[in-house]
Structure 1
């Protein structure tokens, strides 16, 4: 008779959970590791998925773990107006020593002077960066959360001086990730020495039984159900008369070490990944119906034009775009002025420029900031022409529909849209389908 062996704890683990080991320098505060592990523990349970690139139809792999962890930290940054102890994926210019963080391009005042208190840029390829001389460490812990500057002492790219506010650079390594020599040397330069450089090495210590239970959670749309104390059902409005809506998966709240009254929520699409997903625009109305009820309300117009067969038509004489259904009925109308206004607001929150907009291959909503914060963290996959990257950016939920329309028009009528958003006048009439 065969002897059934109990599940074995993976080698090097002390229990069957997600564990973290700090290497290099110790973290500066006892609260740092619980905060980072809360994010890493959650992120570790998300699988790798593939998505279809809209430009050429190729399927590209995407590891959700690092993306989810960065998104959760970024959500905290948004909620605290970037006056927060932790900053995710700050871009550093390695052409100077010490390396300079790239700051937001937001300007203020009639003289357009740079704001010395502005945050770090969220654009993955900042203006002025040189290929091979740009680094984005996973986490920067700052000395003083009331100061947005995330670097060592020195001037920024506009010559404004800043005092040292970098307490620790933390590189997070999930299973399979390797810290290369060049990466390590660059991070030591950014941190200012080995005493301010830490590595958080994540070990997946789940046994086969734990992994199977987590896979079951994925199938049931709740891969991290043990983290979710809020288990009420959220009902979606029926799309067809006489159809009873099914309960939608409740977005999982993402807390810090101390629960807050305004937790961010990871949107339910990330809890339903299996082998492959298409972008939100490709999933259409079905993709929108997977989002939380609050975000759906902001996407009501988008659900209308995405869910109805038709085309965007350019009305050059009226300087407007109209979504016209296949029956000829006008559904939605956006003027050039409205598009420029939305684009200006999107740039203010994200630092996205026209070149980045043109290269967006894929878009998904990752985190709902909650009703009170009314902001959304969105994932953008940027094409290889300017260097492949997946970045999480955040905008107010009220801007999501406008951003989706801009992204769609960028695909079907790029030159005309670019001229509209940049204010350049061209003699072009276009119909976009």
Structure 2
């Protein structure tokens, strides 16, 4: 009778897990690496995603690992109202020295004087950025969490002065990622020198048995509740290591925030169930919504209807409204132009998304449900070849999905509704 041999540890690894090695400058605080590794450990388990393009055809391969890690950190930022030690994917303007962080254009206020405490922009291509002079390092660790400014001492693009609040720039490299020379030089400029620039290299040291255990867990995964390793299921051999006690299945990481919280944060289950290719607004449409938590299903009840039932969006010009009508005529969803403008204004406030970028959105998906007083949802948006993690109140997610779909169906008309007469002329000319 053959004796089952335990899986071998991959070469160069000390154990069968996700490992991280800090290079360049050491991290400033002993708590930094455990915090980042919690995120990286979870993110490392996600595959490359193929998104079918809705406009020009073809498909784009995008890595979920960095998106998931950024989304998890961004969830913490939202939970702390952006007064947080870590900031994900801050955009920097390399046209100045030291490079300036791009701040939220939606938080400038209605008066002439800009808000000096506004957060960094969440939009990957901020207004005023120049191609080749824009960098987005993975993580900025700030000196003082009570200050939202994530850069060195200097003025922002509106001339407001800020103190030095950049403690460390951290670039996270998953397997296959390479730190290029130009990237390194740019990050040294942003950080302010080599002693403030760290690289966290992630190695996937799981053996075949460990990977199969993860795949089995992913197939059975449900939306998560409060993070508590003692409450998660365990998997026995063959998915665990023979001869060793069963260990908890891979679990979502905690989202950090003030305690007590109104309800726990959770990572929605779609992230571990993505297929090799997805298309449309939501992976598997209404079926994907039904896999979300009960709270998110309530927010997306209308979206589940028009994503899951055959029908079409119809323009009612006399009513200044859009309606979705099912093939049978039994189900009708109604959005007025006024409602769309109101939702779009809120979307811009929370994401800094512009009309130009809205036209390029190919795919949207709910990533993280953050348990705060006003429920915030971190969503993934595919814009061309970029994946963006942004956050909006859960109550306006359904409206965002409607706007994205109408942008795909009738861009010039939607742009005129959202942006006014100047946009109408530009859209018609295009």
Counterpart-to-counterpart distance in 2, 1:273 and 1:427:
37
Q: Does 1:291 align with 2:288?
A: no
Q: Does 1:423 align with 2:420?
A: yes
Counterpart-to-counterpart distance in 2, 1:95 and 1:349:
26
Q: Cα distance, 1:10 vs. partner?
A: 1.8
| Counterpart in the other structure of 1:354 | 355
Counterpart-to-counterpart distance in 1, 2:423 and 2:109:
30
Counterpart-to-counterpart distance in 1, 2:387 and 2:332:
33
Deviation digits for residues 364-400 of structure 1 (CA, Å, limit 9, x no counterpart): 11111136451101111112xxxx2110000000000
* TM-score, normalised by the number of residues in structure 2: 0.88
Contact 1:214 1:224 in 2 (8 A): no
Q: How does 1:27-426 map to 2 (within 5 A)?
A: 27-107=27-107, 110-221=110-221, 253-255=252-254, 262=261, 263-281=264-282, 283-329=284-330, 331-370=332-371, 372-383=373-384, 388-424=385-421
Counterpart-to-counterpart distance in 1, 2:154 and 2:340:
38
Q: Cα distance, 1:211 vs. partner?
A: 1.6
Change (3 A) 1:31 1:180: same
Change (3 A) 1:222 1:318: closer
Counterpart-to-counterpart distance in 2, 1:374 and 1:276:
29
Q: Cα distance, 1:145 vs. partner?
A: 0.4
| Counterpart in the other structure of 2:238 | none
Q: Cα distance, 1:331 vs. partner?
A: 1.2
Counterpart-to-counterpart distance in 1, 2:259 and 2:13:
31
| Counterpart in the other structure of 1:236 | none
Change (3 A) 1:427 1:205: closer
Kindly report the root-mean-square deviation, in angstroms, between the aligned alpha carbons of the 2 structures.
2.6
Counterpart-to-counterpart distance in 2, 1:318 and 1:171:
51
Q: Cα distance, 1:261 vs. partner?
A: 5.1
Task: Give the SS at the match of 2:132.
Answer: coil
Q: Cα distance, 1:327 vs. partner?
A: 2.7
Counterpart-to-counterpart distance in 1, 2:374 and 2:176:
35
Counterpart-to-counterpart distance in 2, 1:347 and 1:207:
44
Counterpart-to-counterpart distance in 1, 2:72 and 2:28:
21
Deviation digits for residues 380-429 of structure 1 (CA, Å, limit 9, x no counterpart): 1112xxxx21100000000001101100100001000000001228999x
| Counterpart in the other structure of 2:241 | none
Contact 1:222 1:271 in 2 (8 A): no
Counterpart-to-counterpart distance in 1, 2:256 and 2:328:
54
Contact 1:38 1:256 in 2 (8 A): no
Q: Cα distance, 1:267 vs. partner?
A: 1.1
Q: Cα distance, 1:107 vs. partner?
A: 4.1
Structure 1 unaligned regions, length at least 5: 233-250, 429-433
